[in-house]
Structure 1
Amino acid sequence: MESLTRGNRLRGPHMRTWGVLFVLCGTIFMEGVDVALLNVALPAIRADLGLSTGVLSGVVSAYVLGFGGFILLGGRAADMLGRRRMFLLWLGIFAIFSGLGGLATEGWMLLLARFVTGVAAAFIAPAGLSLITTNFAEGALRNRALIIYGAVGGAGYSLGMVTGGVLTTFGWRWVFFAPVIFASLLLAAAIPLIRDNGERAGGRFDLAGAFTVTGAMLLLIYGVVRLERPDLWAVPIFAAGLGLVAAFVAVERRAAYPLLRLGLLKTGTIARTNVSAILFMGSFSAFQFLVTLHLQEERGWSTLETGLIMATMGVDAVLGPTVTPWLIRKYGTVRVICAGAGVGAVAYLLFLPTGIDRAALVMLPALLLVGVAFALAYGPYTIAATDGVADREHGLAGGLLYTCTQFGMALGISAATAVYATGSLHAALFIPAVGAALAGALVLSRRPAPVLEPA
């Protein structure tokens, strides 16, 4: 009884619990900043190391490969081995390999460092998400924590553009060294604060499932990356990836302790949520990638100038934790996600008239709307991803969501790069617009989830 009472206290608005949220928000902010820092520094890295456009986009995709390929394994490891243990271990690995990326002198060294950093993030992200869901009681309190978590992550993407511009003026290597300092501070705070209050999943590791799904995700994401320069190798890569997906499904149906309980995909809105997240995040990442290259390589803007105007999207850091929770209570998660996707589609279309001779002021409405779209959709996706899922599977559910978002980012960047290589920014910008519209249509095609009552 004493243990139960203590567990309930920790699930409420206890000071330590909010301290845990602060640390976890710092981590998701760092991951967002880490990606955004690199995006702004890409032209400087290309100039210093002499990288081709394919290798340059590969630096971004290497992180996605590591993240997307190992995320389900990371979620299962959190559920079975302990969320705190996985979080602390891989946060340390993240710091080490981010620092090694800053020491890279060749393209392959940078690719390797980014890949391992992505693997580390694949273990950190689901552990962090499930630490929130197991420390906050289900309902309005948990939803608010998740919205804050998502908003801070979005702010990392947006504000990281400015930070990247500033750091790159001192040298692009600082975009790798800065996360080392930040991660070390978070690790020092996390050790005394974080406790694992959630129920652990039982059973054994499904090694066959882990190998097949990791191999499948690596091959499929690599196949998407190969779309940037279509050749005959793309066909066998996709075929091998799909073959491993089929093998994974067969393994999971027979496994006593499956890595991914296939019935989870039938829980609530899990399947539609994750497919919609693929499209939404693919659109967002494609837009960021295109605009960064356009401003710096076609308009000749500096990294600082690019970062400052892209920081306009940081409006999500204000709207996410303030307006979005109210909208969810009033209209429900599904409608809010749909609204975010719709606003995103409009924003990407508004950017089309911003030709190379147009003033920066013309871009501001579109960039502001992109921030609004992210504020409306990203946090609610994290709520929908664990809606109706048992606590012991929250790490897995979080891993599934992050798998889809990373796969979507790889798909969006690769498709945008392939079209942009033809020299047409306008044609490439239709990719995020269509993707966002489809994301909204997908969630709208089902009956909205019940509206939550105010706390």
Structure 2
Amino acid sequence: MTLSKDLPASASASASPSPRPGPSPSPGATRRRRQGLTLLVTCAVFFLDALDNSTVGVALPSIQDDLSMETGALQWLVSGYTLAFGGFLLLGGKAADVLGRRRVLVVGLAVFILASLLGGLMTAPEPLIVSRFLKGAAAAFTAPAAFSIITTQFAEGRERNRALSIYGATGGLGWSTGLVASGLLTEVNWRLVFFIPGLLGLALLALVPAAVDADAAKAPGSGARRSYDPGGAFVVTAALFLLVLGVIQAPEIGWAAGATMLPLVLAPVLLLVFVVIERRHRSPMLPLAIFGSRVRSASYLVALTHAAAALGWQFTVVLYLQEVLDYSAMRIALGILPLGLTVFLTARFLTPRLVNAFGVRVVAVVGLVLQVASLGMFVLVGQEDRYLTLLLPCLVAHGVACGTVLNAANIGGVSGVADRHQGVAAGLCSAAYAIGAGLGTAVLAGVITASAGEGGKPAHMLDAYQNAFLGAALMAAVGLVVAVVGLPRRRHVNAD
């Protein structure tokens, strides 16, 4: 008879040797796993925004036919989103800093989901446009919240550079995925272009509480979390609204039209009023000291000019492929797909290594040189389809340029900023891209209209598109000058 049979079960258990506990994970390993989950969710937010943006463009003709929309109303499905996104970005960044980044991310995602699902149900143009406006406003809060969650959770330097590179890469992947998915979804029903992002958003919303830490509470009486600048918030939001409104209306009604000139004149006036308010407020909406850094100020300008060239070019190349080469919507999506894939691969695997080795200035300058060259080569396009010999190499080169410049500008734009202002800095980065995208599209649309002449005769359209491609290259050249002159030569941007 063994001892274990004579003893009660509890005694037998205590008499037997207790199993040794396994090695507990180190604090460093636990932190890395938590950071990985946080990065996954915040990148998924950016992926969803990019996916939603690219899917709608391909679905526009189907929406127009189904809802009998006028062309002027149709463009507001894109412009309404752009207007709300550009107008609310700084407010969204400030809200993330003041109210809590996770809270703002959750609320923004909830509004995004609601607007997506309602948009898919709409049977009239006006409420569909309103749903796009709401989605743009929601993205203006989720984008800086997700961006600033990364910049506050990852230490400045090599760790943050890698995280921001992955973040930027997911934008290119989302845009590319949206191009292809939109063609497939639109073939079934254009309403899926609204429903699918909404359903993806629901899944993402469920993950946020588990993946993103709640913002640390402030000490009682510190007032740091609940400091508001309502006057500054209203004025800067109105200024950005007017600026973006004037820019997106210019291609439709002309730069000299009163409805274009009035907002473009009022916007800088309101920005001056905003500067006065910020100088006097004890807790300003936008701390003007952010612009005291040469790295950050130059990075915002690089982002603006780069986006103007890249998005203006995108607008032009889609028209060229459709009107001159007679590409279908699906063929256009597949034709441009190598660009997005190259952006993803470059931003994910190449850019962080280059930034760590050579610094933001070298990476931005090399990327912009490549952008100028690749966009300039599009001037050589003609009536014949030279996709493999001309367009594809230029698309790949431009993808490398976008993958490097975008990340370099993001890294420089948030360098040296205190955690309590990271939301605003992230909002400035996103606002620079949004305003640059609208400005580039408007300017190149004007170039096409002026070059094509009355009625846009087919014989003149090729010249018009070639002139627009040249204009995009010149915009990139302006960004190159800013990078050479404005970005400092030192390798480490946080030594500001």
> Does TM, normalized by the shorter one, top 0.5?
yes
Distance (whole Å) between structure 2 residues aligned to residue 142 and residue 78 of structure 1: 19
Correspondence for 2:19: none
Q: CA deviation at 1:416?
A: 2.2
Change (3 A) 1:74 1:284: same
Q: CA deviation at 1:447?
A: 5.0
43, 66, 70: which one aligns with 2:84: 66
**Matched residue type, 2:303:** A
Per-residue CA deviations over 1:19-63 (Å, capped at 9, x if unaligned) read 110111111111111111122223333444444554443322211
Distance (whole Å) between structure 2 residues aligned to residue 97 and residue 438 of structure 1: 37
368, 372, 382: which one aligns with 2:400: 372
Distance (whole Å) between structure 2 residues aligned to residue 401 and residue 173 of structure 1: 32
Matches of residues 25-104 of structure 1 in structure 2 within 5 Å?
A: 25-104=43-122
Please give the secondary structure, in 2, of the residue aligned with 1:123. helix
Correspondence for 2:421: 393
Change (3 A) 1:439 1:11: farther
2:391 paired with 1:329 = no
Correspondence for 1:266: 292
Q: Is the 8 A contact 2:101 2:215 kept in 1?
A: no
Please give the secondary structure, in 1, of the residue aligned with 2:405. helix
2:135 paired with 1:117 = yes
Distance (whole Å) between structure 2 residues aligned to residue 296 and residue 168 of structure 1: 17
Q: Is the 8 A contact 2:299 2:410 kept in 1?
A: no
Alignment RMSD (CA, Å): 2.2
2:184 paired with 1:166 = yes
Distance (whole Å) between structure 2 residues aligned to residue 12 and residue 436 of structure 1: 43
Correspondence for 1:215: 238
227, 240, 261: which one aligns with 1:235: 261
Q: CA deviation at 1:282?
A: 1.4
Please give the secondary structure, in 2, of the residue aligned with 1:364. helix
Correspondence for 2:384: 357
**Normalised by the size of structure 2, how large is the TM-score?**
0.85
**Normalised by the size of structure 1, how large is the TM-score?**
0.92
Correspondence for 2:482: 442
The worse-fitting range, judged by mean Cα deviation, of 408-417 and 420-429 is: 420-429
**Matched residue type, 1:333:** V
Q: CA deviation at 1:12?
A: 8.1
Per-residue CA deviations over 1:405-455 (Å, capped at 9, x if unaligned) read 1111111122222233334212222232111111121011135353259xx
**Matched residue type, 1:378:** L
Distance (whole Å) between structure 1 residues aligned to residue 358 and residue 61 of structure 2: 43
Change (3 A) 1:271 1:446: closer
Q: CA deviation at 1:298?
A: 4.1
418, 431, 438: which one aligns with 2:471: 431
**Matched residue type, 2:399:** G
**Matched residue type, 1:263:** A
Q: Is the 8 A contact 1:151 1:378 kept in 2?
A: no
Distance (whole Å) between structure 2 residues aligned to residue 351 and residue 112 of structure 1: 36
Q: CA deviation at 1:120?
A: 0.4
Q: Is the 8 A contact 1:333 1:384 kept in 2?
A: yes
Please give the secondary structure, in 2, of the residue aligned with 1:14. helix
Distance (whole Å) between structure 2 residues aligned to residue 103 and residue 409 of structure 1: 29
The worse-fitting range, judged by mean Cα deviation, of 276-285 and 288-297 is: 288-297
Correspondence for 1:346: 373
The worse-fitting range, judged by mean Cα deviation, of 357-366 and 102-111 is: 102-111
Distance (whole Å) between structure 2 residues aligned to residue 154 and residue 262 of structure 1: 31
Distance (whole Å) between structure 2 residues aligned to residue 339 and residue 197 of structure 1: 38
Correspondence for 1:300: 326
The worse-fitting range, judged by mean Cα deviation, of 135-144 and 420-429 is: 420-429
Please give the secondary structure, in 2, of the residue aligned with 1:233. helix
426, 442, 459: which one aligns with 1:414: 442
The worse-fitting range, judged by mean Cα deviation, of 82-91 and 362-371 is: 362-371
Distance (whole Å) between structure 1 residues aligned to residue 492 and residue 466 of structure 2: 41
Q: CA deviation at 1:234?
A: 2.0
Please give the secondary structure, in 2, of the residue aligned with 1:434. helix
Correspondence for 2:249: 226
Matches of residues 189-200 of structure 1 in structure 2 within 5 Å?
A: 189-196=207-214
Distance (whole Å) between structure 2 residues aligned to residue 299 and residue 111 of structure 1: 31
Correspondence for 1:384: 412
Please give the secondary structure, in 2, of the residue aligned with 1:342. helix
Distance (whole Å) between structure 1 residues aligned to residue 360 and residue 216 of structure 2: 24
Q: Is the 8 A contact 2:294 2:488 kept in 1?
A: no
Q: Is the 8 A contact 1:41 1:165 kept in 2?
A: yes
Change (3 A) 1:32 1:449: farther
Give unmatched runs, 5+ long, in structure 2: 1-25, 219-223, 457-463
Distance (whole Å) between structure 1 residues aligned to residue 59 and residue 237 of structure 2: 29
Per-residue CA deviations over 1:130-179 (Å, capped at 9, x if unaligned) read 11111112221111001111111122223321222222222322222221
**Matched residue type, 1:107:** P
**Matched residue type, 2:91:** L
2:491 paired with 1:451 = yes
Change (3 A) 1:356 1:55: farther
Per-residue CA deviations over 1:213-265 (Å, capped at 9, x if unaligned) read 01111011111122112212222222222221121111111112110111111
**Matched residue type, 1:387:** S
Distance (whole Å) between structure 2 residues aligned to residue 171 and residue 291 of structure 1: 26
Correspondence for 2:335: 309
Change (3 A) 1:54 1:297: farther
Correspondence for 2:345: 318
**Matched residue type, 1:40:** V
Distance (whole Å) between structure 2 residues aligned to residue 319 and residue 198 of structure 1: 35
The worse-fitting range, judged by mean Cα deviation, of 285-294 and 332-341 is: 285-294
**Matched residue type, 2:123:** T
Correspondence for 1:280: 306
Q: CA deviation at 1:203?
A: 4.8
Count of residue pairs brought into register by the alignment: 446
Distance (whole Å) between structure 1 residues aligned to residue 259 and residue 291 of structure 2: 31
Q: CA deviation at 1:106?
A: 3.5
Mark the structure with the bigger radius of gyration: 2
